[in-house]
Chains A and B, each alone.
Chain A
Amino acid sequence: MTEQTLQVEILRYRPETDQDPAFQTYTVPYRDDWVVLDALNHIKDNIDRTLSYRWSCHMAVCGSCGMMINGEPKLSCHAFLRDYYPNKVRVEPLANFPIERDLVAVTDDFMEKLESVKPYVIPQQERAVDEGPHLQTPAQLNAFKQYTMCINCLLCYAACPQYGLTPDFVGPAALALAHRYNLDTRDAGREQRQEIAASNEGVWDCTFVGECSQACPKSVDPAAAIQQTKIASTIDWYKALLNPWGKR
């Protein structure tokens, strides 16, 4: 019996020799329990050692193997070959980011934006260790829990045409994480985050395409976070208008 095979078309870019990226096709064995990442590992181990890509956990936790698979942003460890077989699989680096090499995207822009929204608890007052834990009820936790699931895989940025059109846009994951800390009862940093989140480059560059939430492998729903931030920021704006002597 001849072995079943599958063709994988990969966008290659070697900065030291290539002017432009170009597709290269590899033939890999087909296994119905393989994901695209397995096929890439097979190529790297057996066919072409020069292929570069990021991966780590192989189980949709680390968030490093995001790629465009047949034009859709997906974790390559989460995309089964059986969903494409016998057709070709086309693999490209995440859309909307510059290409460092082959399937490796340059993600510095996101890292800066993530940092800018202060994605950590900013307490009203520092709490000493002997004051004990800061208690939170399950209901208070559940109000923001979904937004804590973000693994920074950037599929949402690759899915977002507004980020592609306006690279200054703070973008889905960073804004979802800002919202996550704003909703946290232990946090008092909303005003600091609003500097970024409620700016023109913050939620206001979003046109609610909604694809960020569709692409998210962790059901974070950044589109909802952004929408809720728009509403809250609008209420802030009208409050400030009605009460110009208020503290904002």
Chain B
Amino acid sequence: MSRKPYLRKMPKSWWLARRSYTSYMARELSCVFIGAYSLLIVVGLHRLSQGRDEYGAFLDALQSPLSLVFHAAALVFALIHTVSWFSLAPKAMPLQIGEKKLSGGPVVLAHYAVWIVVSAGVLLVARI
């Protein structure tokens, strides 16, 4: 009897097929906002190097509705990145004390603790 294996094609919209794939895609899309934000900082520094008025115009542009919408979306995706990054961190850092393998909980909590300290530090410096 001859064989005739049937190949199923993976649909381009595979990432909509399961909820876990969709949240993976949301995590991956965070890169668009993180990359754009990095480039925005370059633009800001460029305006800063041009002088007081040019930099002032840049700060004004940050107040435009378009900029606010972008940053609001970017914040949401940056948070998706942070939360997913921390939740996967234990997989990269297995802990074992003696015979006992430790659960990933403490690793995740340590990341959140550092995150809170760093964020509070930035807020504090920005306010002074």
Are chains A and B touching directly in their complex (CB below 8 angstroms)?
yes
Interfacial residues, chain A to chain B (CB-CB below 8 A): 13, 15-16, 20-21, 71-72, 95-96, 98-100, 106, 137-139, 142-143, 146, 161, 164-165, 207-211, 213-214, 221, 223-224, 227-228, 231
With contact pairs A15-B4, A99-B6 given, residues A231 and B92 touching in the complex (Cβ less than 8 Å): yes
Q: How far is the CA of A207 from the CA of B3 in the complex (A)?
A: 34
Asked whether A161 lies within 8 Å of B15 as measured between CB atoms, the reply is yes
| Interfacial chain A residues near B96, Cβ < 8 Å | 139, 142-143
With contact pairs A142-B99, A142-B101, A207-B28 given, residues A20 and B88 touching in the complex (Cβ less than 8 Å): no
> Between A and B, how many residue pairs show CB distances below 8 Å?
72
Closest to A14 in B: B4
- Greatest chain A CB density within 10 A among B5, B28, B99 is at B5
Q: How far is the CA of A95 from the CA of B92 in the complex (A)?
A: 27
User: Beyond the given A139-B96, A210-B91, A213-B91, could you list 9 further A-B residue pairs with CB under 8 A, ordered by the A residue number?
Assistant: A98-B6, A106-B5, A161-B15, A161-B21, A211-B20, A224-B90, A224-B94, A227-B91, A227-B92
Q: How far is the CA of A221 from the CA of B16 in the complex (A)?
A: 24
With contact pairs A228-B92, A228-B94 given, residues A95 and B8 touching in the complex (Cβ less than 8 Å): yes
B18 is contacted by which of A71, A99, A139, A210 (Cβ under 8 Å)? A71
Tell me, rounded to whole Å, the shortest Cβ–Cβ distance linking A138 to chain B: 5
Tell me, rounded to whole Å, the shortest Cβ–Cβ distance linking A187 to chain B: 18
Q: Is B70 interfacial (CB 8 A cutoff)?
A: no
Closest to A140 in B: B99
| Interfacial chain A residues near B18, Cβ < 8 Å | 71-72
| Interfacial chain A residues near B98, Cβ < 8 Å | 139
With contact pairs A20-B6, A164-B10 given, residues A221 and B24 touching in the complex (Cβ less than 8 Å): no
Closest to B91 in A: A224
Q: Is B125 interfacial (CB 8 A cutoff)?
A: no
Tell me, rounded to whole Å, the shortest Cβ–Cβ distance linking A148 to chain B: 13
Please, could you name 16 A-B residue pairs with CB atoms under 8 Å apart, sorted by A?
A: A15-B3, A15-B5, A20-B6, A21-B6, A96-B10, A98-B6, A142-B99, A142-B101, A161-B15, A207-B28, A209-B20, A210-B91, A211-B24, A213-B91, A223-B88, A223-B91
